[in-house]
Structure 1
Amino acid sequence: MTNRSPVSKTVIYVLLTLGAVMMAFPFFWMLSTSFKTVGGVSQLPPQLIPNPFKWENYVTVWEKVNFGRYTLNSTIIVVLDLAGTLLSCSMVAFGLAMFRFKLRKPIYIVMLATLMMPSQVTLIPSYFIWKTFGTLNTYYPLILPSFLGGAFGIFLIHQFMKSLPGELYEAAVIDGYNPLQILIKIYIPLCKPALAALSVFTFMGSWNNTLGPLIYLQDKSLYTLPLGLLYLRSNTDANTALLMAGAVIITTPVVIVYLIAQKQFVQGIAFTGLKG
């Protein structure tokens, strides 16, 4: 690779810095607005730094609008979704990658084909299935599907397992390990980057899921954070500052999780061949 000149490096850094500022500014504006008063939101010229700071916006959202309860509900769903997704996808991916059985390839191809099917196609049939089982207005429709495996998660882990040396499985069998022991003691520790990437995708999808809870939940005490934000928006007493405070509460965990798992996330994407 040829060495770039100082001028070209400077231009690249300036462009990257401008791009980073443009990406970060909406988040900064959301955070700034969440501390403003009602008059400060509509003030011209706009205030970048609120004056005065209204910390009570977060207290109002957390206590009076019941965002504390919504946060607990979302946390319960996300934790169970993560557990179900990682468990089911790891087991299915391990079986497809390591075992040779009849119809293995057709099953894998059909599974991948489901990735091209929009979720809206199965929305109505899924609703009537859960209605038949009497599970509407519960968390079952939001949690149980994760324990049945997902095509994207299976593909992600399957690709990573296929990149590992095949001799690992053979050596473990010779040492007397059964398939479950091989999965738990050997392959899962080696698949940490792929599992971390899947965890981030699952967390973001479950934490930000709006359509599922909107369809299946009617009781306000069962609302998740996205539904809580919708409810806050429909409340005539809510102002823009309160909406931004709620948005900050929803966004902050996603940013924290991504920053913590960033290294493993990038490794998992690179090793599974999903990078562009």
Structure 2
Amino acid sequence: MAEQTSNKSAVKWRESRSTAELIYKCFISLVLLCGAVVLMIPLLWMISTSLKSLDELYEPGFNLWVEHIKWDNYSIALSAFPFWLYLKNTLLTTLIPIVGTVLSSSLIAFGFARVQAPGAGILFMVVLATMMIPEHVTMIPTFILFRQLGWIDSLYPLIVPAFFGSAFFIFLFRQFYMRLPMNMDDAARIDGCNTFQIWHKIFLPLSQPAIATVAIFVFMGKWNDFFSPLIYINSDRWKTLALGLRSFQGQYTTEVNLLMAASLVVILPCIVLFFFAQRYFIEGITFTGSKE
């Protein structure tokens, strides 16, 4: 009798615990949902504003609902400035640096992770220490260097530095390579591969999560970069979308609907990329975050 009572008490305790856990999960989900809705309000306002007319836009009050959708706001906004020229420049300064950053950072990280050399650890710490140097400290010397090379008012200052590696991405790739077993190197050398072939034929194809993470980071940074093009680019021929959007803002200060339409088109690739690649992004961060 006592045993049955004990079993019933245990069952009730487990049921009450399951109910408490369910309530807690529902509460957390509700809080996260409310937070997501609050964070989505600026984007929803941008979409709503881009589809409104000026008369509807300046009506008093805050209203996300659009009564008369004006799709032609997008065509007017994109035809108001050389969008396709700026898009081409932005793609060049985004896609090429992605390739350069992945190749250079992964190669350097492979050397730190797999090549045994005196002082490699100290050199790696020096590379990591460069992340503590603010970009504004090196801005003037870098500008003088590019000016002496004759690269001002061109896309070279926005592309070429990517082929010399980045300390943060070198760290990510190194952490990824440190997780891979050492016997892979030995097996590859038995098959006749040299050090470069081991990186190119074995490690680089296995680095898809890390490559996806680096590609997303570089894409977000380069696509939205405004400061660097502002420094190095003077003519309309080489302007990127970020600079073009700033010029557009100066010309259409009162037509906010057109400005929001152009802004939405500019940020749309970043939203779409992260939406489809978030799994690889989270996997890469998780897998490169620790050695064990």
Q: TM-score range by the shorter chain?
A: over 0.9
Equivalent residue number for residue 264 of structure 1: 280
Contact 1:61 1:67 in 2 (8 A): no
Structure 2 counterpart of 1:46, which letter? F
Within 2, Cα distance between the matches of 1:4 and 1:197? 37
Within 1, Cα distance between the matches of 2:18 and 2:176? 33
Is structure 2 residue 128 aligned with structure 1 residue 94?
no
What TM-score comes out, normalization by structure 2 length?
0.89
Structure 1 counterpart of 2:161, which letter? P
Q: Any idea what the Cα deviations from partners look like across 1:55-79, whole Å, max 9, x if unmatched?
A: 2221122122122221121011111
Structure 2 counterpart of 1:54, which letter? K
Q: Where does structure 2 lack aligned partners over 5 or more consecutive residues?
A: 1-16
Within 1, Cα distance between the matches of 2:99 and 2:203? 17
SS in 2 for 1:268: helix
Is structure 2 residue 259 aligned with structure 1 residue 243?
yes
Within 1, Cα distance between the matches of 2:252 and 2:25? 52
Q: Any idea what the Cα deviations from partners look like across 1:224-258, whole Å, max 9, x if unmatched?
A: 11101110111156521111112111111001111
Alignment of 1:183-262 (within 5 A): 183-236=199-252, 239-262=255-278
RMSD (CA atoms): 1.7
Within 2, Cα distance between the matches of 1:53 and 1:218? 37
Is structure 2 residue 200 aligned with structure 1 residue 178?
no
Equivalent residue number for residue 57 of structure 1: 73
Greater Cα radius of gyration, structure 1 or 2: 2
SS in 2 for 1:209: coil
SS in 2 for 1:119: coil
Q: Where does structure 1 lack aligned partners over 5 or more consecutive residues?
A: none
Give the alignment partner of residue 42 of structure 1, picking from 20, 44, 58. Answer: 58
Within 2, Cα distance between the matches of 1:270 and 1:86? 18
SS in 2 for 1:49: coil
Within 2, Cα distance between the matches of 1:198 and 1:2? 41
Shift of 1:128: 0.7
Equivalent residue number for residue 123 of structure 1: 139
Contact 1:97 1:161 in 2 (8 A): yes
Q: Any idea what the Cα deviations from partners look like across 1:23-78, whole Å, max 9, x if unmatched?
A: 21211111111111122222122331222212222112212212222112101111
Which stretch of the first structure deviates more once superposed, 35-44 or 75-84?
Answer: 35-44
CA pair 271-197 structure 1, distance change in 2 beyond 3 A: same
Within 2, Cα distance between the matches of 1:250 and 1:236? 16
Within 1, Cα distance between the matches of 2:286 and 2:26? 28
Within 2, Cα distance between the matches of 1:268 and 1:92? 18
- Of all paired residues, the percent bearing the same amino acid is 36
Within 2, Cα distance between the matches of 1:56 and 1:237? 19
Contact 1:40 1:47 in 2 (8 A): no
Contact 2:252 2:259 in 1 (8 A): no
Q: Any idea what the Cα deviations from partners look like across 1:120-165, whole Å, max 9, x if unmatched?
A: 1111111111001111000000000000111111111111101111
What TM-score comes out, normalization by structure 1 length?
0.94
